[in-house]
Amino acid sequence: MPVADTNNKVMRSAFIPALEKVFREHEECIFITADDGAPELDTFYQTMPERFVQVGIAEQQMIGMAAGMAKEGMRPYCYAILTFLSSRVHEFVKLDIAAMKLPVTLFGVGTGYSYSQMGATHHLVEDIALMASCPGLEIWSPSDPMTAAAMAQLSYETPIPKYIRLDRDPLPDLHGSLDGALQSGIRKVTTGPCDVLIVTTGIMTHQAMKVAAALAGEIGVGVLDVLRIAPFPAEELQYYMRRYSRPVVTLEEHFLHGGLGSIVASVITDGPMSRDLLRIGVPEKYTFESGGRQTIWRNYGLDVDSLVKRIREWL
């Protein structure tokens, strides 16, 4: 793995050092920031200043400039708070990067209610819907610091437009090793009996694991961690659905409309297998209540107790 000791770090602290290693090996990599920083970035711009571009709080410029650089053979990485890298600049991503198929990687921190205290301006519960609407744009969704670091390495290997969504909370490493998980795009992170499959991604994978622990002995919960949301690994999901032949729950910190649950519903509807499906996400509203992420989760039934109750009742 590219970086050791990622456990309990924030994803960014694992991702950026791994990316720095890529940059040291490949001088066509260029870092563009829209005035977003990180402690790990300091050495980056101090030691590679000629490959570090600060455009200021100007995300349209960041995306357009990156596309221009990529047209000339460079491999730009764009960094901003995630909502400003997706919903704020969607059309620039669509036309300058996805439509021209340019190898630009967008990455930032702020999935779901990561910036819980900062309110609706910084919450991001629609990025999957937006970014999955751009054909050819890969969406990567790490669930722990180690997978985030691995995605930094992977991002260089294929010259394809990418969007990498990092969470803001420190998280334990879930995946002992990744062997092939990034290639397949989905990984089962539980062992044992499986009476229901929870398909989830990012920080919600940790919630699903807690649900599995709480229901152990009563209901066997299998947790599938989706690491690549687009292109969605439909065949891999079908493999698990066939293998376990059980009801499916999707769990995400995202609107149901256009999110992971929608994608899984499409796979089931359009595919050969029929399954009972429960989709759990966030309500279709903007959130102004303070109190932090745990409070928001409790209000919206995404805390472990509510999830356990809801899944138990549904089954």
Partner 1 sequence: MIDVEYLAGKALELRRTVLAMCVRVGAGHLSTACSEAEIITALYQGGILKVDAQNPKWPDRDRFILSKGQGGIGLYCALADMGFFPKAELDNYLLKDGGLLGVHSEDNINGVEVLTGSLGHGLPLASGIAWALRQQDNDAMTVCLTGDGELCEGSNWEAMLTIAHQRLGHLVVIVDHNGGATIGHLDERVGANDGPVLEPLMDKFEAFGFETLRIDGHNLNEVMTVFGQYINRQRPMIGRSVCIIADTVKGKGIKSFESGAIFPNHYLSLKGENLINALNDLGMDADEFKEAVGASCGY
Where on the chain is the footprint of partner 1 (CB under 8 A)? 30, 50, 53, 55-56, 58, 60-61, 63-74, 76, 91-92, 95-96, 99-100
Please report how close the Cβ of residue 100 comes to partner 1 at its closest, in angstroms: 5
Question: What gap in Å lies between CA 192 and CA 219, rounded to an integer?
Answer: 11
Please report how close the Cβ of residue 76 comes to partner 1 at its closest, in angstroms: 8
Please report how close the Cβ of residue 68 comes to partner 1 at its closest, in angstroms: 2
Please report how close the Cβ of residue 195 comes to partner 1 at its closest, in angstroms: 50
Sequence letter at residue 69: M
Q: How far is CA 209 from CA 204, 213, 220, 240, in A?
A: 9, 6, 11, 17
The two structure tokens encoding residue 143: 């669930």
CB nearer partner 1, residue 1 or residue 58: 58
Please report how close the Cβ of residue 17 comes to partner 1 at its closest, in angstroms: 24
Please report how close the Cβ of residue 120 comes to partner 1 at its closest, in angstroms: 22
CB nearer partner 1, residue 160 or residue 304: 160
CB nearer partner 1, residue 80 or residue 224: 80
CB nearer partner 1, residue 30 or residue 263: 30
Please report how close the Cβ of residue 12 comes to partner 1 at its closest, in angstroms: 24
CB nearer partner 1, residue 70 or residue 237: 70
Rg (CA), the chain: 19
Please report how close the Cβ of residue 90 comes to partner 1 at its closest, in angstroms: 12
Beta bridge partner(s), residue 163:
106, 139
CB nearer partner 1, residue 68 or residue 170: 68
Judged on CB neighbours under 10 Å (0-12, 13-18, 19+), 271 is middle
CB nearer partner 1, residue 47 or residue 294: 47
CB nearer partner 1, residue 90 or residue 298: 90
